[in-house]
Structure 1
Amino acid sequence: MSHYVLKRTHKLPITLDQAWDFFSSPDNLAEITPSYMGFEVLSNSDSTKMYPGQIITYYVKPLFGIKIFWMTEITHVADKQYFVDEQRFGPYALWHHSHFFKEIPGGVEMRDQVHYKLPFGPLGALVHALFVKKQLEGIFVYRQQVLEKRFGKFINR
């Protein structure tokens, strides 16, 4: 069974506090996810601060418009440095998403690292090659566009 890794880096002209406040709130996930994914957060934000053990539930339509329940747990949090969400129930055999934040001149650098695996062995590998890899990459391209529209484009100084 194949295991995949997706890495992306985004730079934005905002403070570390602004980046952390935005990305650590589940309420903002739908905004940075393409509408065709049908992403719907079900959990109410039960805390103003993210914490290890926090469960977040969603509906998502990853393939063919089929609505799927997805549950993730925030497993690790270091305030304004990183957090990790891991799937507890959903479309992947494995989903481990690390979000890293670093203050840089002129803004903040955010790095995403997603380790993931699809179910169904060889069939999952085929679905990954045909759909999932491109879809995940597209989600991160969309995310960058939405973030630049919301916060402005980062300019190297």
Structure 2
Amino acid sequence: MASFVLERHVPAPPERVFDASLDVGLHLASQSTRGERVVGGPAHGMLKEGDRVTWSARHFGLRLRMTSLVFDVDRPHRFRDRQTAGPFGAFLHTHEFLADGDGTRMRDTIEFRSPLGPLGRLVDAAVMRRHLIAVISERNDAISAHFA
């Protein structure tokens, strides 16, 4: 399985950054360039343990859907979400929030696998890793800007 880790300092306490990371409206705003919208599950407010949400967004010129389950919620330290239906063979996102001086070190660990075996591994190495880093970085830009 392919993976990467992104870290970002956010100038706010972990509790506030944690809550912002589960806010559906902030997530949608962070992905507006992809036309992301909720097509199933909670469409506003803060996601919580056990919530399933289906997102629809444009990636690579295609409108794709991905259903994610929010689990392992330990406010304000971490939560995880994983794809339960969608384009990936597997997708797991671990969100961690660590007190860091005057704010929070937000750490995203993404583990993913495209379908189609060896061909999918080539796609992951050549294209998907870079694309997902851009997607998560845009999301993190929006969270940081929320506290600026």
TM (norm. structure 2) is 0.87
**1:50-87 deviations in Å (ceiling 9; x for gaps):** 43221111102222x11112100012101111101010
Distance 1:68 1:30 in 2: 15
Give the structure with higher Rg (CA): 1
In the TM superposition, residue 34 of structure 1 has moved relative to its aligned partner by 5.9
Contact 2:25–2:44 (8 Å) recurs in 1 = no
Q: Which runs of 5+ in 2 are unaligned?
A: none
Kindly report the root-mean-square deviation, in angstroms, between the aligned alpha carbons of the 2 structures.
Answer: 2.1
Select which of 84, 87, 92 maps to 1:96.
Answer: 92
Q: Which residue of 1 aligns with 2:141?
A: 145
Q: Percent identity?
A: 21
Name the counterpart of 1:32: 30
**Cα pair distance change 1:29/1:129, threshold 3 Å:** same
Alignment of 1:133 with 2:129, yes or no, is: yes
Cα distance in structure 2, aligned partners of 1:107 and 1:84: 21
Paired residues of 2:10 and 2:104 also in contact (CA < 8 A): yes
In the aligned structure 1, how far is the partner of 2:58 from the partner of 2:46?
A: 28
Look up the match of 2:11. 13
Alpha-carbon distance in structure 1 between the residues aligned to 2:64 and 2:131: 16
Aligned to 2:39: 42
Aligned partner of 1:155 in structure 2 is none
Contact residue 82 and residue 99 of structure 1 kept, 8 A? yes
Unpaired stretches in structure 1, ≥5 consecutive residues? 153-157
8 Å contact from structure 2 (residues 67, 86) kept in 1: yes
Taking a change above 3 Å as real, the CA distance of residues 13 and 25 of structure 1, as seen in their structure-2 partners, is same
| Bigger strand fraction | 2
Q: Which residue of 2 aligns with 1:81?
A: 77
> What's the TM-score, normalizing by structure 1?
0.82
Runs of 4+ aligned structure 1 residues displaced above 4 Å come to: 46-49
Q: Describe how 1:98-113 pairs up with structure 2 within 5 A.
A: 98-113=94-109
Are 1:81 and 1:101, in contact at CA under 8 Å, matched by a contact in 2?
A: yes
Corresponding residue SS for 2:87: coil
Q: How many residues align?
A: 148
